[in-house]
Structure 1
Amino acid sequence: MHVLFIINEAAGNGKGKKVWHRLQRHLTIHYEIAFTEYEGHGLEIARRWAHGAQTRKLIVIVGGDGTIHEVVSGVVHNDFMVIGVVRAGSGNDFARYFPIFRNAKQIETYVQSELAGISMDIGMIQFGTMQHELFVNNAGIGFDAYITKYINKSRLKYYLNKIGLGKLSYAAAVVRGLFGFERFDVTVRTNDQEWHFKQAWFVAMSNHPYFGGGMKISPMSKPDDGKIEVTIVHGISRLKLLFIFATVFFEKHTKFKEITFLQSNQFEIILDSDKIDSHTDGNYIGVIEQGMVIHCGVKQNAWKTMTLDK
C-alpha cells in the first residue's frame, strides 16, 4: 500500500508541527510527505495524488477539521483512496466520531494488514446557481457561521491553543457574539413538506453529530445512512440560547421546543430576511443573500475511512 502523509504544520496554532515531529520519529514504513502551505492546498495535493490511481493508497492527515475537509473533498468517489487522521487541530470534531490513528504503531499495523476502508457519505450544499461545496462534518447558516467568521479573524483561538484550551474557542466566541447577532426568518423544504421559522439563530446541516469543538448538536446523525440532519434553533431569547449551548455537550438540548430536528436526503433552505453568514466544516464561505435558495443533499459512498477502532 502506498502511504502519503499530508501535514498542516499550522493546525492548532502549531500543534500540527509538533504532532508530526513526534509521530515521524517512530515511523519505520516507507511513506511520502506533503506539507500544506495555503488554504485549499490540501485539496490540490489529495486530488493530484489520487489522479489515475489504480492501486489502493492511504492518505494520513495530520491536522484539524479544515485540513480534513480539504483532503476528503479532493478524493471523493475514488475507490482507491483510504483516509486516516492523526488529530492536530483545535476543535477536532471529526476525531470525536470517526476512527483515527493515535500513534505510529497503529498506522504501521493498518498498512501491514491492508484492511479495507469503510465507505462514508459526504454532504453537499449549493447556494443558488453558485458552485457547490462539500462538507464532511457539517455546514450551516446563521449564528454558527457568524461565530466561525469571528474566530477566524480574532486571536482568541491562538491564545487558547497556547494554554491547551483551543477547543473552548468556539464556546468563548458564542458568549461574545450573543449580543451582536441579528436573528433571521427562514423557510425549509424537503419533498412535499415546508416549514417557516421566525427569529432563527442558525440552521445547521449535519453529516455526523459534532460541531463547535465537541457540541453534539445532531445526536441522530450518521455519516453512512444516506441522510442529512437539519437542526434549526428559533424563537428563543439570548439568555436562554446561552443556557441551551451549555446543554448541547450533554445532549439535553433535544428537549427544547425551540429546537427543531429534520431528516431527509435533500433540503431547500430559503432565507426570508437580510444577508446571513455561511460555513462548511468550520470554514467561513461567505454571505447568503435574501431570497437565495440553498440546496443541501448527500452523496453516498463518497469516500473511505480506515477501519481501526477509536
Structure 2
Amino acid sequence: MWVFIVNPAAGNGRGAATFERLQKTLAYQQMQVQYYYTDYEGHAEEIAHSLITNPDVTAVIVVGGDGTIHEVMNGLGHHKLPIGFIPGGSGNDFARGVGIKGCPEEILESLTHSEELSPYWLGTYRIDDKKERYFVNSMGIGFDAATAHKANHSSYKKLFNKLRFGTGSYVLALLQVLTTFKPATLEITLDGEKRMVENCWLISVGNHPYYGGGMKIMPNAAIQPDKFSVLLVHSLPKWKVLALFLTVFAGKHEKIRGVELLEASYLTVTSNIPIHIQIDGQTTTCMKSEIKKGDDSVSVIPSK
C-alpha cells in the first residue's frame, strides 16, 4: 500500500491542486493507495509516526513543501520506510537537492517504476537543550533566518506563491531586513575547534546546495554520510552582503572576502543574546544550537 501525505495548504493551495492532478492519472488509479490530508502544523509528523508499525505500507509519498517533508522525516525517523516526494510548496529545495524534476504526473510515474532506493543522510539538531530533532535541507543562524522569519510573516508571501515565484518573498524580505540587521559575535565550534567570530552575519549548514527557493547557498555541498557543508559570512559591509545574495543563485559568492565555505560533521553555535535560527525554512530564536550529521540514512525513492 502506498500512503500519500498531502499538505493542501502548501504553496498557497498548490499542494491540494497537485494531488488532485495526481488522482486523475492512470498510475495513481492502478496503485493501492491510502491518503491523508494534513490539517495543522505538526500533523504530517503525527501521521508519519503512526505508519511506522503498519506492515502493509510499501512507501510514503509526500505531496507538499519543505516544511511537510521536514515533518514527515521527523515522524519516521530512521525507520526504513521508503519516502517519495512530489513538490507542491513554495520553495521545494528538497526536490532540487535530490534531483527531482518534471511535472507531478511525470514524477509519480517515475516513482512507481523506480527499482532502487537512494540513501539520504539527515542532520540532527538540538537548540537550547530541547529535544533532538532532524533537519532535511539546511539550518541557518543569523541574517538568513531573520530574513526567512520576515518572509514567513509577510503580507506578500501569498502573492508571490500565487505567481509561482516563492523566492520573490525571500528577496523582498532580505532587502527589508538588511537595513536594520546587526551582526553578532558568536562562539563556534567546528569538529572540536573553537573560535570566536565577530561581526558574524550568518552561519548556514546544509545537506545539499539549495535553500530559499533555489538559492545555491552552498555550491559545493553534496549528499554524503559524514559531513555537512558550512557557510560562514562575517566582517562584511552591508553592500557586500547584498552583493553576496545577488550572486548566490549562480553560486559565485564564495569568491567574496569574508565568506568561508567549510565542512564539519559536528558544530555548536553559542550567542549571548537570542538570535534567529531557521530549520528547513521554519524559524524561531535560540542562544545555543548543537548540530551533527545523522548516524544512519533514510531511503528516498529517486525520480529522474
Q: TM-score range by the shorter chain?
A: over 0.9
| Equivalent residue pairs, number | 300
CA contact (8 A) 1:123 1:296 kept: yes
CA contact (8 A) 2:216 2:248 kept: yes
TM-score by length of 2: 0.93
1:304 pairs with one of 277, 288, 299: 299
Q: Deviation per CA, 1:227-254, whole angstroms, max 9, x where unpaired?
A: 1122111111111111110101011101
Q: Which runs of 5+ in 1 are unaligned?
A: none
Q: Which residue of 2 aligns with 1:45?
A: 47
Q: Which residue of 1 aligns with 2:74?
A: 73
CA-CA distance at 1:54 after TM superposition: 4.2
CA-CA distance at 1:127 after TM superposition: 1.9
Distance 1:163 1:53 in 2: 39
Distance 1:288 1:125 in 2: 12
Partner letter of residue 286 of structure 2?
A: I
Distance 1:192 1:72 in 2: 28
Partner letter of residue 216 of structure 2?
A: K
Q: Where does 1:68-217 land on structure 2 (aligned, <5 Å)?
A: 68-79=69-80, 81-100=81-100, 102-104=103-105, 106-108=107-109, 110-111=111-112, 113=113, 115-217=115-217
Is the aligned partner of 1:36 residue 2:38?
A: yes
2:285 pairs with one of 250, 269, 287: 287
Identity of aligned residues (%): 31
Q: Deviation per CA, 1:240-278, whole angstroms, max 9, x where unpaired?
A: 11111010101110111211122121112222x422111
Distance 1:278 1:106 in 2: 32
Partner letter of residue 40 of structure 1?
A: G
Tell me: CA distance 1:298–1:156, structure 2 relative to 1, closer, same or farther (3 Å).
same
CA contact (8 A) 2:122 2:134 kept: yes
Tell me: CA distance 1:52–1:148, structure 2 relative to 1, closer, same or farther (3 Å).
same
Q: State the Cα RMSD in Å.
A: 1.8
Partner letter of residue 67 of structure 1?
A: T
CA contact (8 A) 1:217 1:251 kept: yes
CA contact (8 A) 1:84 1:100 kept: no
Q: Which residue of 2 aligns with 1:275?
A: 274
Distance 2:106 2:278 in 1: 36
SS at match of 2:167: helix
Tell me: CA distance 1:14–1:267, structure 2 relative to 1, closer, same or farther (3 Å).
same
Is the aligned partner of 1:237 residue 2:237?
A: yes
CA contact (8 A) 2:18 2:104 kept: no
Which segment is superposed worse, 161-170 or 63-72? 161-170
CA contact (8 A) 1:134 1:280 kept: no
Distance 1:165 1:192 in 2: 40
Q: Which residue of 1 aligns with 2:17?
A: 18
Tell me: CA distance 1:307–1:209, structure 2 relative to 1, closer, same or farther (3 Å).
same
CA-CA distance at 1:106 after TM superposition: 4.7
Distance 2:195 2:163 in 1: 44
CA-CA distance at 1:57 after TM superposition: 2.0
